[in-house]
């Protein structure tokens, strides 16, 4: 199987993945009393490892919950010097050029990668390294915050794979890079 990079991320209608204060409370603006899975479990089964930026990593740590990932996690950061000791064997700090980072992760036997976090997704898109995107849209306009997308050198076309609606409110669109 070929190496692939996937995105699975939620945004507001106006394209923000966090609000003006960096908060993600809007992700829960649609009531989900039965804690319905919004496609994450099926997605999770398709990936070998998770690659996340420092911001996303710190948001996960801020939840103060047990480490939520069963797959290997690679934290991309040029500023961190180490990860907390209790994450040894669960998460690994990686830095450098994306190509070197990917080679390192691939050499460990991980082919299908979940690329998480706005900045990291943008870095991958800049080098046209995203193969599939599953974008969940929460029915709210935030009016500012952390954008999912940013400036890119050139347009990129995608194939529409499917669209789903969850909880009569949340849409989820899957796209595959057209090459």
The site for a second copy (CB under 8 A) is made up of: 12-15, 19, 26, 29, 125, 133, 135, 137, 139-144, 148-149, 151-160, 163, 165, 168-171, 173, 175, 178
Q: How far is the CB of 132 from a second copy (least distance, A)?
A: 12
Q: Helix 118-126 vs helix 54-62: angle between axes, to the nearest 10 degrees?
A: 160
CB 136 within 8 A of CB 171: yes
- 73, exposed or middle or buried, with CB in 10 Å at 0-12, 13-18, 19+? buried
Could you tell me the smallest distance in angstroms from the CB atom of residue 165 to a second copy?
Answer: 6
Assign 121 to helix, strand or coil: helix
Query: What are the angstrom distances between the C-alpha of 114 and each of 47, 82, 139, 140?
Result: 6, 21, 24, 25
CA distance 121 to 126: 9
**SS3 of 130, please?**
coil
Shortest gap between Cβ of 128 and a second copy (angstroms)? 10
Q: Minimum CB separation from a second copy for residue 15, in Å?
A: 5
**What one-character DSSP code corresponds to residue 28?**
G
* CB of 83 or CB of 135, closer to a second copy: 135
CB of 33 to a second copy, least distance (A): 17
Left if phi > 0, otherwise alpha if psi is -120 to 50, otherwise beta: which for 83? beta
- Residue number with CB closer to a second copy (69 or 158): 158
């Amino acid at each position: 199987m070929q190496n692939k990079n996937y995105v699975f991320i939620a945004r507001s209608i106006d394209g923000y993945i966090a609000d003006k204060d960096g908060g993600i409370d809007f992700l829960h603006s649609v009531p989900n009393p039965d804690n319905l899975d919004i496609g994450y479990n099926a997605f999770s089964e398709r990936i070998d490892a998770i690659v996340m930026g420092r911001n996303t990593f710190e948001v996960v740590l801020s939840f103060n919950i047990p480490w939520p990932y069963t797959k290997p996690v690679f934290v991309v950061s040029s500023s961190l010097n180490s990860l907390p000791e209790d994450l040894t064997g669960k998460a690994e700090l990686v830095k450098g050029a994306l190509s070197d980072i990917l080679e390192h992760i691939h050499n460990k036997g991980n082919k299908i990668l979940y690329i998480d976090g706005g900045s990291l997704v943008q870095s991958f898109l800049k080098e046209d390294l995203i193969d599939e995107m599953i974008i969940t849209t929460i029915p709210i306009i935030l009016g500012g915050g952390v954008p999912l997308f940013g400036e890119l050198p050139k347009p990129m076309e995608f194939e529409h794979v499917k669209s789903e609606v969850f909880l009569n409110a949340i849409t989820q669109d899957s796209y595959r890079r057209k090459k």
